[in-house]
Amino acid sequence: MANTGFDQRRAEFRYYLVHDRSSADNTVKSYQHDLTRLQRFCIQQNLADWSELTQSHLREFSANCFEDGLAPASIRRILASTRTFLSFLVRLGDLKENPATGVRLPKATNKLPTTLDADQMKQLVEIKGERWIDYRDRAILELLYSSGLRLSELVGLDDQSLQLDDALVRVTGKGNKTRLVPIGAKAIDALRAWLPKRDETTHRLNQAIFITQRGTRMSPRSVQLRVSARGQQQLFTPVHPHMLRHSFATHVLESSSDLRAVQEMLGHTDISTTQVYTHLDFQTLARSYDNAHPRARRTRQTNRETNK
């Protein structure tokens, strides 16, 4: 799929993302993946350069993504990546205007994030065993749930990130922005138990908080695999790191109703991103009402009698 005209601007855009916007590695990879799909489409359309893209082309590209079976959320992300990239080309003078501006995005689905309840979380983190890997996995699970960290934030932690005496962790999130997040008592205990075990690894190669048995920093994929394995072992159900972040946000909001505090702890720039958890909170309130309110119980009983 090599094409000098396409590839040169993609390389320049990648440099812009990394050095001018300080985008996270995963963000850069996501843009490159989306532009690969767009570039393949352009070549199939016999376009010689990005500058030949029109609004009509992009509408057809969106339709092709749909025909390929991509979910609406994935198509929205691809078109958003395309819009950002083409805006970059406008600034370079390759395009007079951004053809993606008038392309309608697929309607977003209001799918709520999957969470674990408090009992499930308690069961998940109570790992039995005294092996090196048991101490590490307990610390990973406790910290993910205690502080609502993103996966990339967890694997990026170093010794200087932890302030255990102050019950705080300094994390670097999206856009290379840092924030301080509280750590719960259980997570502190798990970290204090894990760190001496980590330090016994004589071939440890860096100051990473979480390392492999070879002494290298854990990758996002290796953490995902460990969390998934513990989910199957402890709960007999699939679990992924972001589920623990969702559970953290939901449980904090249920107990405090402080949306701004949850926003700050999660590192959301826009509070609208955090507001998805208010829907979860209202669901919980509705269930509590149905289970506890005498009028709600009477209504359900009446409905059952009516349907007999």
The CA distance from 103 to 49, in Å, is: 20
Q: Which member of 245, 293, 300, 304 is catalytic? A: 245
Whether 279 is catalytic:
no
Q: Tokens 């390389």 appear where?
A: 11
Which positions ≥6 away from 265 have C-beta within 8 Å?
147, 148, 179, 181, 182, 249, 252
Which positions ≥6 away from 226 have C-beta within 8 Å?
137, 140
* Sign of the dihedral through C-alpha 83, 85, 88, 93: negative
Whether 246 is catalytic:
no
Whether 245 is catalytic:
yes
CA atoms within 13 A on the CB side of 104: 3
Whether 251 is catalytic:
no
Q: Which member of 37, 204, 240, 268 is catalytic? A: 268
Q: Which member of 37, 59, 174, 197 is catalytic? A: 174
Q: Which member of 9, 57, 138, 150 is catalytic? A: 150
* Sign of the dihedral through C-alpha 23, 27, 30, 31: negative
Query: Is residue 111 left, alpha or beta, with left meaning phi > 0 and alpha meaning psi from -120 to 50?
Result: beta
Whether 242 is catalytic:
yes
Q: Tokens 């308690």 appear where?
A: 122
Buried b (16+ CB within 10 A) or exposed e, 130-160: eeeebbbbbbbbbbbbbbbbbbbbbbbbeee
Catalytic residues: 150, 174, 242, 245, 268, 277
